[in-house]
Each structure stands twice: as C-alpha cells, then as structure tokens.
Amino acid sequence: MLKKLFTLICTLWLPLAASAAEIDKTQPYQMMTGVAEVAFERLKAEQTTIKQDPNHLKLIVDEELMPYVNYKYAALKVLGPNVKKANKADVIEFMEAFREYLIASYAQVLTQYTDQEIEFEPEKKLDSSRTITSVKVDIVDSPRPNIKLEFKLRQNKKTGEWQVFDMIAEGISLLSSKQSEWSGKLRQEGILSVAKDLENLAAQPIRFEAKQ
C-alpha cells in the first residue's frame, strides 16, 4: 500500500521540475505554476533521448526538480528522533543518500509520463508570519477521476525562498509513510544501514515498465 502510494505521489510531483534560473522561489504559487510549465515542455522535447537512455531521466530530475526540493529538511523529518543519537557525519551521509534515492525514484516514475495535466487552486494570500504554506492541485488523468494533491513548502527566512518538503495525497503524507517504513531499521540497525540501502536503490538503472 505504502509503495503504491509513494509511486502515485512521485508521479504527481512531476510538475515541480523547472529551470532554477527562470523561476522566482520567493513566491511559492508562481514558483509552482512556472515550474510545471517548464517541466512538461522539457519532458516532451527530450522523449527521444529518454527512450534511448532511460537513465537520462535522472539527469533531468537532478537539474530540474531538486533545486525546488528541501531534501535535507525532508530527510531530517524522516529520521525523526533518530537524529538525537546520531553523529553529524552520519546524518549528512543519510541526507545525501536520501537525495539520490529521491532522484532515482522520481526518474523511474517519470517513465510512466503520459502528458497528464494539472489544475492549480486559486492563489491564496500568504501570511508573512508563517514559514510553512501549501499549494493544492488537481491531477487531471482522464477518464479516471481527478486526484487531489497538496504540496507542503517551507520558507528559508534568510533568503525568502520556498522549497517543497512534503506532499500529501489521499490524506497520507509522503514523509510520514517513509518514516513508518524505515523506522524499525533505523532503530535496530542505525542511520548508516538505511543510508546504504538507499544508495543501493539509487544505483539501480532506470527501466521502462508496463504502464498501469
């Protein structure tokens, strides 16, 4: 169940990819909509290369998606209380492994790309006193019903920039689901053991699979 949900959420995170040089990160709503427009155009333009070399999707994710993802904050949320008893070097290694795992996971899911459309909720006024906000979208994947998704974003108060750190689909948080999945091994075998697992998963080649 959690694996299927993670695949769904990764698919829906697709619209967040775009060129960091072209998108204003200080405006979360404009950032999200701008990223979506650029993302779909690049995926359409590079389908020939992707078909020849599916691993090219890892490059696209690294260049176009990760600038908008606060993977360090997300990794800390996944680790939860395990951070308290870990040394800094181990936490940093886990963060980097988590980043590579995200890249590979999103790249694999992008092999299922079929030109889905998204509809953003109307822009809402930001509360300047808050550093957490969200943007809701509907994923239009006819003839199936629309899928409602919520992106959670966190602001860096020093730079004023926003980044995505979590997604909620069907009422389930991506971070919460992964924390639940890995919590036992984190407690029993430690951060570096899970980091190694993530590195191994990230190293797997991207393959086209039958569309569900």
Closest CA to 185 of 54, 51, 114, 94: 94
The answer to whether the beta carbons of residues 40 and 46 sit under 8 Å apart is: no
Give the relative orientation of helices 191-202 and 88-109 as an angle to the nearest 10 degrees.
30
**Domain 2-201 listed as CATH 3.10.450.710:** yes
Q: What is the pLDDT of residue 184?
A: 94
- What is the pTM assigned to this prediction? 0.81
Domain ranges of the chain: 2-201
Burial 149-173 (b: 16+ CB within 10 A, else e): bebbbbbeeeeebbbbbbbbbeebb
Task: Please give the residue that has the higher pLDDT: either 93 or 40.
Answer: 93
Residues 142-195 have pLDDT tens digits of 787 877 788 899 999 999 999 999 888 778 888 888 899 999 999 999 999 999
Residues 185-199 have pLDDT tens digits of 999 999 999 999 999
pLDDT > 70 fraction of the chain, expressed in percent and rounded? 87
Rounded to whole angstroms, the Cα distance separating 128 from 201 reads 40
Q: What is the mean pLDDT of the chain?
A: 84
Q: Average the pLDDT over 123-128 and give the result.
A: 88
